[in-house]
Structure 1
Amino acid sequence: MPYLDKTTAAADSNISIFYEDYGTGKPVILIHGWPLSSAMWEYQTPALIDAGYRVIQYDRRGFGHSSRPWDGYTYKAMAEDLKDLMDKLDLQDVTLVGFSMGGGEIAQYVDIFGNERLHKLIFVSSIAPFMLKTDDNENGVPKKVFEDMKAAVSSDRAGFLPDFGENFVNYNDNKDKVSQGQLDYNFNIAVAASPKATLGCIDAFGKTDLRDAMKKIDVPTLFIHGDADNVVPMEPTSKQGHELVKDSKLEIIKDAPHGLYLTHKQELNKLLIDFID
């Protein structure tokens, strides 16, 4: 299996980032959500390859087949992982697609490394720019929600994940679109992740303010969100991001939950391919 091998700046420890690289054409990097892995892109990767793109997907540190360091679950560290992977593969004119937590990597990447190597950006059900409710982000999520998530993950991670997984796809409303087998598969991916990474990433996606970072985006950008998302509210995320990123587009998928890559995969795939084209 291919890996990006790197040494952390903070310690004499090696970190390996697992990735897969398929197809030819302009490169598209798929960045997964929490608490999953790049395996979540099972239904997007073939569609993008068939449309003529080179598709790279990778596991965030602490998840999937990547290394499980004790520290480093900040967007700064994860954006550096993304940059190192682009360096290793010598990628230019890249489209970045970030789902949920993956949207934060995109924003932080631009904040640190700029737009030079980028073709387009796509935020799907993204947490960016800012999830946390504050005096100047009134539509955000109260801090207690994230603290309760951290407490649940700390005390009974395996017990927390099944309910989260059902809410992820609004299972009661989408049993015709998502099987119990798919829920079980998502659970197996999530429970196999590093407990420390699962916990540490909550502060990253829940409390990182990326509003100024979004203002630096200077390439064509698309936000995609479901209007039935019960995990990531649209107002402080995709709608606010659309307002902050000049000339960006916002596509709202009717009745789609957070995990619309499963429930509305044909609609999502068409939006991805049409925008990249």
Structure 2
Amino acid sequence: MHRIFLAVSAGTLLFLPCISATAAEPAQREPYGIGLEGFAYPYPVSMLPLVNDGEQVRMAYMDVAPAQPNGRTVVLLHGRNFPSSYWAPVIKTLNDKGYRVLVPDQIGFGKSSKPSADLHFDTLARNTIALLDHLQIPKADIVAHSLGGMLSVRIARDYPDRVAHLLLAAPIGLEDYRFYVPPTPTEKIIETEDKLTADGYRKQLEVNYSLKLPPDQVTPFIDARFNIKGSSEYPRWLRAFVSSAQMIYREPVVHEIPLITEPVLFIMGADDHNAPGKPNAPEALRPKMGHNAELAEALAAKMPNARAEVLPNAGHLVFLDAPAKFNELMLAFLAK
């Protein structure tokens, strides 16, 4: 070791103090691309070419095979504010029980293309069925969270023969937000979202989602959004992100939920009071919004084959807040 050190040239030694000082400082991270280039997913990601509204797009997805297949497939549908990588613990739970797990990023989200056209649930539903067709999966179980819950309702209504079981994990869309929130111009939402800071976003998640996770577990979600700001294509990402907010507002599904005939299980966090657009509602109406557990129970009572389970001390990220109970309920429901 001593002889190797002596072999280093004197010219190199002059730079050693500078290297040491630089290493002590946090390295500036390269921005993520708007397809979350630079942000790691837990399993390999494939791409499915599609055409949406005349535009060439690519749908990213993880297709995770179990070691001992049981012959069934579960599709996991993500929410609006999270990349599909957050499903990692649920993927493992399902794999361990023999399920093949298909985890797409919807167009406009995660590693998928960010289109210039507006987003629509019908289009996202067609894309999801196109993915099943591409992989030759005739029928699947669906586990859907948040915005994914709204999408899954549209899939179950438009393609009932493709859905075996539907598990709605803290879905949004259990009420018609148009009854409370006035229409908001897209440009105003873009301006508001663009001003949001990482700290402000963290506080927004803590309040809106009643987060129970340790701060370090939330940080990757913050990074997945705010490290995109350094990308030259950030304005295109922002417009797609805001388009998803308008989709939630303009395309309610609550009126269709009671019409679903497939087996349905709602798993709700007792502390989940998330209601998109609530800050823009008149102050007198805000307390009436976001009673999600009660809304799920009321909807389940109107459905031919549904029930609701409410988990205490859990918020909007119910499958991460109460993983043991969530997994128990999920596996029992899918096994029926």
Q: The TM-score by the shorter chain falls in which range?
A: 0.7 to 0.9
Unaligned runs of 5+ in 1: 135-141
Note if contact 1:154-1:199 (Cα within 8 Å) is conserved in structure 2: no
Q: Which amino acid aligns with 2:256?
A: A
User: Following the alignment from structure 2 to structure 1, what is the Cα–Cα distance between the partners of residues 198 and 192?
Assistant: 9
User: Following the alignment from structure 2 to structure 1, what is the Cα–Cα distance between the partners of residues 164 and 106?
Assistant: 22
CA 1:244–1:206: 2 relative to 1, 3 Å: farther
Residue 62 (structure 2) pairs with residue 4 (structure 1): no
Superposed, which structure 2 residues align to 1:36-185 within 5 Å? 36-113=82-159, 115-132=160-177, 134=179, 142-143=180-181, 152-156=192-196, 158=198, 160-171=200-211, 174=212, 178-185=213-220
CA 1:89–1:157: 2 relative to 1, 3 Å: farther
Unaligned runs of 5+ in 2: 1-44, 229-233, 276-289
Structure whose alpha-carbon radius of gyration is higher: 2
Note if contact 1:228-1:257 (Cα within 8 Å) is conserved in structure 2: yes
Superposed, which structure 2 residues align to 1:117-266 within 5 Å? 117-132=162-177, 134=179, 142-143=180-181, 152-156=192-196, 158=198, 160-171=200-211, 174=212, 178-191=213-226, 192=228, 194-232=237-275, 233=290, 234=292, 237-266=295-324
Kindly state the Cα deviation for residue 257 of structure 1 after the two structures are TM-superposed. 0.6
CA 1:196–1:59: 2 relative to 1, 3 Å: same
Give percent identity, aligned residues only. Answer: 20
SS in 2 for 1:70: coil
Note if contact 1:128-1:241 (Cα within 8 Å) is conserved in structure 2: no
Note if contact 1:131-1:205 (Cα within 8 Å) is conserved in structure 2: no
User: Following the alignment from structure 2 to structure 1, what is the Cα–Cα distance between the partners of residues 299 and 326?
Assistant: 19
CA 1:241–1:82: 2 relative to 1, 3 Å: farther
CA 1:235–1:252: 2 relative to 1, 3 Å: closer
User: Following the alignment from structure 1 to structure 2, what is the Cα–Cα distance between the partners of residues 130 and 260?
Assistant: 19
Note if contact 1:97-1:122 (Cα within 8 Å) is conserved in structure 2: yes
Kindly state the Cα deviation for residue 211 of structure 1 after the two structures are TM-superposed. 3.3
**Number of residue-to-residue matches in the alignment:** 262
Kindly state the Cα deviation for residue 32 of structure 1 after the two structures are TM-superposed. 0.4
Q: Which amino acid aligns with 2:133?
A: D
User: Following the alignment from structure 1 to structure 2, what is the Cα–Cα distance between the partners of residues 15 and 199?
Assistant: 18
Note if contact 1:214-1:244 (Cα within 8 Å) is conserved in structure 2: no
User: Following the alignment from structure 1 to structure 2, what is the Cα–Cα distance between the partners of residues 270 and 150?
Assistant: 40
CA 1:3–1:121: 2 relative to 1, 3 Å: same
Note if contact 2:61-2:105 (Cα within 8 Å) is conserved in structure 1: yes
In the superposition, the TM-score normalised over structure 1's length comes to 0.85
Kindly state the Cα deviation for residue 157 of structure 1 after the two structures are TM-superposed. 6.3
User: Following the alignment from structure 1 to structure 2, what is the Cα–Cα distance between the partners of residues 168 and 222?
Assistant: 23
Structure 1 residues 226-274: Cα deviation after superposition (integer angstroms, max 9, x where no partner): 1101314216852343134322011011121111222111111111111
User: Following the alignment from structure 2 to structure 1, what is the Cα–Cα distance between the partners of residues 319 and 184?
Assistant: 24
CA 1:67–1:180: 2 relative to 1, 3 Å: same
Q: Which has the higher contact order (CA 8 A, sep 6+)?
A: 1
Of the structure 1 ranges 188-197 and 72-81, higher mean CA displacement relative to structure 2 is found in 188-197
Structure 1 residues 191-246: Cα deviation after superposition (integer angstroms, max 9, x where no partner): 34821222111122234221343243221111111110131421685234313432
CA 1:125–1:109: 2 relative to 1, 3 Å: same
User: Following the alignment from structure 2 to structure 1, what is the Cα–Cα distance between the partners of residues 319 and 183?
Assistant: 24
